Structure 1
Amino acid sequence: GHVEAAIKSYKQALHLRPDFPEATCNLLHTLQCVCSWEDRDKMFTEVEGIIRRQINMSVLPSVQPFHAIAYPIDPLLALDISRKYAAHCSMVASRFALPPFNHPAPNRIKGNGGNERLKVGYVSSDFGNHPLSHLMGSVFGMHNRENVEVFCYALSQNDGTEWRQRIQSETEHFIDVSAMSSDVIAKMINEDGIQILINLNGYTKGARNEIFAMQPAPIQVSYMGFPGTTGADYIDYLVTDEFVSPLRYSHIYSEKLVHLPHCYFVNDYKQKNRDVLDPTCQHKRSDYGLPEDKFIFACFNQLYKMDPEIFNTWCNILKRVPNSALWLLKFPAAGEMRLRAYAAAQGVQPEQIIFTDVAMKHEHIRRSALADLCLDTPLCNAHTTGTDVLWAGLPMVTLPLEKMATRVAGSLCLATGLGEEMIVNSMKEYEEQAVTLALNRPKLQALTKKLKEARLTCPLFDTARWVRNLERAYLKMWNLYCSGQQPQHFKVTENDFDFPYDR
């Protein structure tokens, strides 16, 4: 929380000891969080050099995988960072000195000698008040109990919130393993006979990836928590989709890619946020000090996802659209002053930049509809926030790049059925599209109307349909394993013959 003090301390440390990789990398990350962009290119070049040297020396890189996904670095370097962290987890696992686990026999579900149901385990530290549970809350209980037996292993203590209570009550087997050591958890997973084990953390806070390095289950999968490659030889599959992780980019992933239909990114709004659709209880702009008469562009992403290139583009847009403003969040508050100064230097008027505080989830979705158009950040997209604004009926402009985290918003847009009108292919096109939609009100109004009408029917918000497709994917993984085949890339289709959801 004390960002300015942290920046000062890192700079002092580097003054005393210029060759201090941790300080250099942490300084860059902290500066990125508050949009302090002086010497940015030079610092990224320096940090990239540090990472490459560390990888060559087999030292754990000073840049964490979760930070690397939002950096403009070579995707293959991001893969190498993940590989080093995965190897570190393997080393942690080896200290427990467990003998290799015996896995369930490769017998097909409902076949001779096979279980009647597929045993699927989810491991997460985020069963509670966390974006993961806001998005996935219904999934665990929506699995079809005739075909799938679900186990949730909670790495964190009960936080007493409705999110935790709900998952706990709706999941067939919910086990709080937060007080157990990783080897004991791995043994429990193995004794439960889990056939497919899903890592919902990846390289995020609270993860215990060494459990997966112990390989308690025959098939291990990464999903949702970490939008990138784990670099782990003990993770067989990454659940994603054709737009987010096209096969032409498969070389930047260590996992085999499972392409779900539509969008891989699930959400729970149809179940939990229906009242946002009620037109009678909408917020007003005046509730937030937003100007009634201006065209409002909005970006609700954390500030670390921004970079000079996109901000310059936003400034150009503001200068080209008369009577317009950009609505941002104090996420963190320390970034506001710098972005205001940056905008002023680009010739943007002070009243054209509006900052508000971060709001609670429900209010955040509801007030998003007060904006006219959402502007996404290409370097690291709106993921949860992107889903929020689309549910609020707010169209966006997004520019996909190569890495997974740069392509999620495009996939969200495609799954509304209106992707062609929201996805662009270059920064120039991004600017033109935003300006065109702002100046051509009937065109934007038509898009907004179509988006609002699609919410209850489009695949993006159809959680039950998404869960059924996930089950198709799990059964395909298991059936490949049963037939003695290695994990392989595959694309799930909503075809019961090719991709049955029950056997």
Structure 2
Amino acid sequence: MTNKPRNPQSKATAEQLEQHRLAVRRNPRDANAHALLGLAQLKSRRLDDGVASLRRALELNPKVRGLHAVLAAALFELGCFDAAAEAYRNALRFQDDADLHQGLADTLLSLERGSEAEAPARRAVALSPDSIPCLLSLGNVLHAVKQHAEAAAVFEHVLALDPGQVAARQDLGLMLATLGRHADAANCFRAVLESQPDNVAALLQLGHSHMRRRQHEEAVRYFARVSELLPERVDVLSDLAHALRQKGDLAGASALLRRALQQAPDNTDLIYGLLSACFGMGEWELAMQLARQALDARPSAAAHSVVLFILSHCCTDADELTREHFAFAKRWETGLRPLRQPHTNDRDPRRRLRIGMVSGDLYDHAVTNFVAPVFAAFKESDGVELYAYYNNSIEDAMTEQLRGLAAAWCNIQNLDDEAAERLIREDGIDILIDLSGHSALNRLSLFARKPAPLQATWIGYAGTTGLEAMDYILCDQFQVPEERHDNQFSEQIVRLPLGAPFMSASYSPPVNPLPALRNGYITFGSFHRVSKLNREVIRQWSKLLHAIPNAKMLLGGMQMGSADTLIDWFAEHGIVGDRLILRQRTHVYGFLEQHHEVDVCLSPFPYSGSTTIGHAAWMGVPTLATVGSTNPSYGAASFLAHLGLSNFIADDEAAYVALGVYLSQNPSALASLRATMRERFNNSLLGHPGVTAMGLECALRKIWERWCNGEHPAPLRVRLSDLARASS
């Protein structure tokens, strides 16, 4: 039995192909016969055969009009992009056509040659201004060459021509997000979801838009929806867990990440997510184990910084902590030294200095409580001008304020170290200041390349960077007392009259009367993140509570998952739950208002507080602190010393407990202190942020003069008398 064709068309196509093959066999040097065969083969989706026939036709007659264009399109479809680009160029020799220019642009873009693709993409639109395919190609090319604003305008033009172009709306959202217009981007992605409710890319981008605007509840909702659609995607689980962490649900994030790691045990993004959740819940032993695991799996300077950051919170051995930080430089700085280039900065000791500051925290972050007044002072200075290099995508009102205070502002988040160094050198920066240390989003590997002749670290980290390239650390005379911690720094120490100013919230609640007078018992408090706490801290606090049987302990800023851990730790030392007062993390005003319930705050160790102590003091609450052998334990010392409260610093546990008992027995003294604390604050150097700016500018001038004179970095001390002479 003869098999019949399934449909008449396939039989006809086969017959046509055979006729064309016969024509080629009869006239093997007939270009037209090869061309017709090739076209028929392409029509029947025999692309390889069709391309071969067309190439043979063009060998026989290179001037066959239109054949180069057909060949180019077929080669593009086959993924033979180099050959397709050549064919499109050959076609364009015969015809200046919009579709051909668009095809060439798409081909070059597929070859990741965006800069070459720009000219044909623009020519295509010039020839056919309202052609949606040509406009889309131009938009894609502009995106590739990072001309995001113009790309957004092109996609907006497409949507004006045809609002139903969903892909263009999604691309517009991506461009707007890249430009930092996250609210507008979110509107685009929502519009995409109206017609395509399960569009995974739009759901993900909407989640990320909410994250960038710190709308974590909404971000969780969108990431959770994608996780429902794609339950096996570990990257989506990672995004969801990150949103949960930012929302404050550390326990939920931890559970999700543990589940994800069962699917992908070597996924370092998941490991970092879990260690962050564990660290946030005070489980620093597991966090440290995970950090070292991640460093081994994917070695990098940033990964090593994570290890050091955790270590600074838990290590009480000064020698070990110092050794670990110096090892960072040995591992990551050594290989970068050969890349260092000479600096050609004008060695005029009196000229106006260009000061660069590098940070990922130039938004509503604790660091800006300290740097914002300095930015403002430097804007008015004749001696320095400030260049800000921002290593983050978060933009808020504080970012805008700081941007307006800087002489120049550049986002370097998407620049590698080589490109960032080139920018800093082109800007002629004289002194480059790191505001991160080993905290998140640092660019220490950039500093290791030595892009500026002088480099310093300030504010962002309680300890040394370990880098030989970091010439100085700018600090407070009380935070790094003379000779006490000098050997813990690779940098030369510059001691300022006031290491950092502190901005109290302008909308803070008033100070209330001492709660112990009403309660009849003292309430201690802690508003520190749980990652600063550990079992040893809770053991000491429990000992204090046992020494004062009716005392209570308020724990503020609690996140979901962290409270249970602390309750368990206190229970291990016999402090039952009814002696603990738990308060959830809230907005700034609510956080400050929680101090109305507290008589005395307690500072943790070995990583002391700073911002929290400033806020507490502004609310009339002194802090009882203990110090150890490592520099991070001295964070509280500066605030207390400037406020004239050095007696609130204990050198050992016995003195700590005794001081706490004494305070509980003298509520009238605490009440008097509370009532006058803001006056004390305003009368101290803490209430005069200009002192920090003046001291910093004076220090920068001194270290600059040393460099101009060919002198090596050396320890410096700036005194109030120096500022008086400089201003006279």
TM-score normalised to structure 1 length: 0.82
Q: Distance in 1 between matches of 2:253 and 2:360?
A: 30
Counterpart of 1:34 (choices 270, 274, 281) is 281
* 1:85 Cα deviation from its structure 2 partner: 3.1
Is the CA contact (8 Å cut-off) linking 1:136 and 1:268 kept in structure 2?
A: no
* Counterpart among 390, 397, 404 of residue 154 in structure 1: 390
2:377 corresponds to which residue? Answer: 142
User: Matches of 1:485 and 1:336 in 2, distance apart?
Assistant: 53
> In terms of mean alpha carbon deviation, does 333-342 or 372-381 score higher?
333-342
Q: Are the counterparts in 1 of residues 663 and 670 from structure 2 also a CA contact under 8 Å?
A: yes
- Preserved CA contact (<8 Å) 1:302 1:332: no
Summarize the Cα distance change of 1:11–1:74 in structure 2 as closer, same or farther, 3 Å threshold.
farther
What does residue 344 of structure 2 align with?
103
Deviations 1:85-104 (A, max 9, x none): 3355537857xx85614231
Report the equivalent of 1:66. Answer: 309
Aligned positions of 1:299-448 closer than 5 A: 299-420=526-647, 422-448=648-674
2-structure distance, mates of 1:98, 1:337: 50
Matched, 1:454 2:675: no
Taking the aligned partners of 1:277 and 1:410, their CA distance within structure 2 comes to 25
**SS state of the match for residue 432, structure 2?**
strand
Q: Secondary structure at the match of 2:582?
A: strand
Q: 1:8 to 1:226 in 2, by over 3 A?
A: same
Give the structure 1 partner of residue 196 of structure 2.
none
Give the corresponding residue for 2:693: 467
Q: How far apart are the structure 2 equivalents of 1:132 and 1:92?
A: 31
Secondary structure at the residue paired with 1:407?
A: helix
1:299/1:431 CA distance change after superposition, 3 Å: same
Q: CA deviation at 1:61?
A: 5.7
Secondary structure in structure 1 of the residue aligned to 2:389: strand
Mapped to 2, the partners of 1:99 and 1:219 lie a distance apart of: 13
Residue 375 of structure 1: how far off its partner (Å):
0.8
Measured in 2, the distance between the counterparts of 1:8 and 1:369 equals: 37
Cα separation, 1, equivalents of 2:441 and 2:538: 32
Across the aligned residues of Structure 1 and Structure 2, the Cα RMSD in angstroms comes to: 3.8
- 2:411 counterpart residue number: 176
**Counterpart residue identity of residue 337, structure 1:** D
Cα pair distance change 1:412/1:6, threshold 3 Å: same
Does the aligned pair in 1 maintain the 2:257–2:273 contact within 8 Å?
no
Say which of 77, 85, 99 aligns to 2:320.
77
Choose between structure 1 and 2: higher helix proportion.
2
Q: Name 1:288's counterpart in structure 2.
A: none
Is the CA contact (8 Å cut-off) linking 2:360 and 2:442 kept in structure 1?
yes
1:152 counterpart letter in structure 2 = A
Distance 1:487 1:165 in 2: 35
Distance 1:256 1:498, change over 3 A: farther
Aligned counterpart, 1:267: 502
| Residue 485 of structure 2 is aligned to residue 249 of structure 1 | yes
CA contact (8 A) 2:385 2:406 kept: no
- Assess if the C-alpha contact under 8 Å between 1:101 and 1:216 holds in 2: no
TM-score, normalised with respect to structure 2 = 0.58
Query: Shift in Å at residue 500 of structure 1?
Result: 3.4
Q: Give the share of equivalent positions with the same residue, in percent.
A: 22
In 2, Cα distance between equivalents of 1:231 and 1:395? 33
Match of 1:218 among 445, 449, 453: 453
Alignment partner, residue 508 of structure 2: 276
**Offset of residue 498 of structure 1:** 9.4
Deviation per residue, 1:30-49 (Å, 9 max, x gap): 66643459xx7xx99x97xx
Call closer, same or farther: CA 1:63–1:164 in 2, change over 3 Å: closer
2:51 — aligned with what?
A: none
Which structure has the higher relative contact order (CA within 8 Å, separation 6+)?
Answer: 1
In the aligned structure 2, how far is the partner of 1:135 from the partner of 1:376? 20
Cα displacement (A) at 1:132: 1.2
Instruction: Please tell me the residue identity of whatever aligns with 1:193.
Output: G
Distance across 1 between alignment mates of 2:727 and 2:358? 22
Read off the aligned partner of 1:34 and give its amino acid letter.
Answer: M
Paired residues of 1:266 and 1:460 also in contact (CA < 8 A): yes
User: Structure 1 counterpart of 2:683, which letter?
Assistant: T
Long gaps (5+) in structure 1: 110-114, 286-290
The letter for the 1-side match of 2:490 is S
What is aligned with 1:200?
A: 435
The 2-side partners of 1:458 and 1:404 are apart by 24
Q: CA deviation at 1:77?
A: 2.5
Whichever of the two has the greater Rg, that structure is 2
Residue identity opposite 1:489 in structure 2: P
> Using a 3 Å threshold, how does the CA distance of structure 1 residues 11 and 67 change in structure 2: closer, same or farther?
farther
Q: Secondary structure at the match of 1:410?
A: helix
